[in-house]
A and B are shown apart, each in its own frame.
Chain A
Amino acid sequence: MIIFDHVTKSYGSNMGIEDVSVRIDKGDFVFLVGPSGAGKSTFIKLILKEIEADKGSIRVNGTELRNLSNREIPKLRRSIGIVFQDFRLLPKKTVRENVAFAMEILHISSRTVRRNVPQVLNLMGISSKMEKYPHELSAGEQQRVAIARAVINNPTVLIADEPTGNLDPDTAWEIMQLLDQINRRGTTIVMVTHAKDIVDRMGKRVIAIDKGKIVRDDRGGAYGVYEEEAALAALLRGGGVFDSHDI
Chain B
Amino acid sequence: MTFASFFSITAMLLILGLFFIVVVNVNMVAENAKKQFDTIQVYLLEDTSEESVNQMIDKLEGMEQVTKAEYLSKEDALNEFKVKWGDKAYLLDGLSKNPLPNSIRIKLNDIEKAEAVVEKAKTFEGIEDIRYYQSTVDKLIHITDLIKIGASVIIVFLVVISVVVVSNTVKLTVLAREREISIMKYVGATNWFIRGPFLVEGIIIGFFSAGIAVALVAILYKKVLTLFSQDAFLLFSTSMVPEAFLVKNLVVIFMALGISIGAIGSIISMRRFLDT
Q: Which A residues lie at the B interface, using CB under 8 A?
A: 48-51, 70-71, 73-78, 82, 88, 90, 101-102, 105-106, 149, 153
- Tell whether B187 is near chain A: CB-to-CB under 8 Å: yes
Selected from A51, A71, A75, the residue in CB contact (under 8 A) with B188 is A75
CA A74 to CA B274, docked complex, whole Å:
11
B189 touches A105 (CB 8 A): yes
Q: Is B184 at the interface (CB under 8 A from chain A)?
A: yes
Contact present for A149 and B188 (CB under 8 Å): no
Residues of chain B within 8 A of A82, CB atoms compared: 186
Tell me the minimal C-beta distance from A31 to chain B in angstroms.
Answer: 21
Tell me the bound Cα distance from A153 to B187 in angstroms.
9
- B187 and A48 within 8 A (CB): no
> Counting CB contacts under 8 A, is B276 at the interface?
yes
A48 to B193, CA, bound (A): 19
B276 adjacent to A77 (CB under 8 Å): no
Q: Are A90 and B188 in contact (CB under 8 A)?
A: no
Question: In the complex the two chains form, what is the Cα distance from A153 to B188 in whole Å?
Answer: 10
Q: Name the distance in Å between A45's Cβ and chain B's nearest Cβ.
A: 9
Q: B188 contacts which chain A residues (CB < 8 A)?
A: 74-78, 105-106, 153
In the complex formed, the residue of A with least CB distance to B184 is A105
The answer to the question of B190 belonging to the interface, with a C-beta cut-off of 8 Å to chain A, is yes
Contacts of A73 in B (CB 8 A): 276
A105 adjacent to B276 (CB under 8 Å): no
| Other 12 A-B pairs with CB < 8 A, given A73-B276, A88-B186, A105-B188 | A48-B186, A74-B189, A75-B188, A76-B188, A77-B187, A77-B188, A101-B184, A105-B187, A105-B193, A106-B188, A149-B187, A153-B187
Total number of B residues with any Cβ neighbor in A under 8 Å: 14
- Bound form: Cα–Cα A74–B193 in Å: 10
A90 to B188, CA, bound (A): 16
The answer to whether B272 has its CB under 8 Å from any CB of chain A is no
Tell whether B138 is near chain A: CB-to-CB under 8 Å: no
In the bound assembly, the distance between CA atoms of A50 and B181 in angstroms comes to 14
B190 lies within 8 A of A74 (CB): yes
| Assembled-state Cα–Cα distance A105/B194 (Å) | 9
When chains A and B are docked, how far (Å) is the Cα of A105 from the Cα of B186? 11
* With contact pairs A50-B276, A51-B276 given, residues A90 and B183 touching in the complex (Cβ less than 8 Å): yes
A106 — which chain B residues lie within 8 A by C-beta? Answer: 188
Q: Determine if B185 and A49 form an interchain contact, defined as CB atoms under 8 angstroms apart.
A: no
Known contacts A50-B276, A105-B193: A77-B183 contact under CB 8 Å: no
The 23 sampled A-B contact pairs (Cβ below 8 Å) are A49-B276, A70-B276, A71-B191, A73-B276, A74-B189, A74-B191, A76-B188, A77-B186, A77-B187, A78-B187, A78-B188, A82-B186, A88-B179, A90-B179, A90-B180, A101-B184, A101-B187, A102-B187, A105-B184, A105-B188, A105-B189, A105-B193, A153-B187
A43 to B187, CA, bound (A): 18
A24 CB, nearest partner CB in chain B, Å:
19
A71 contacts across to B, CB distance below 8 A: 190-191
Chain B residue contacts of A51, Cβ below 8 A: 276
In B163-188, the 8 Å CB interface with A consists of 179-180, 182-188
CB distance from A47 to the nearest CB of B (A): 12
**Top 6 A-B pairs, shortest CB-CB distance:** A78-B188, A77-B188, A105-B189, A102-B187, A74-B190, A74-B188
User: In the complex, A51→B185 CA distance in Å?
Assistant: 14
**B179 A77 Cβ-Cβ under 8 A:** no
In the bound complex, CA of A58 to CA of B191 (Å): 23
CA distance A73 to B276 in the complex (A): 8
B276 contact set on A, CB distance < 8 A: 49-51, 70, 73
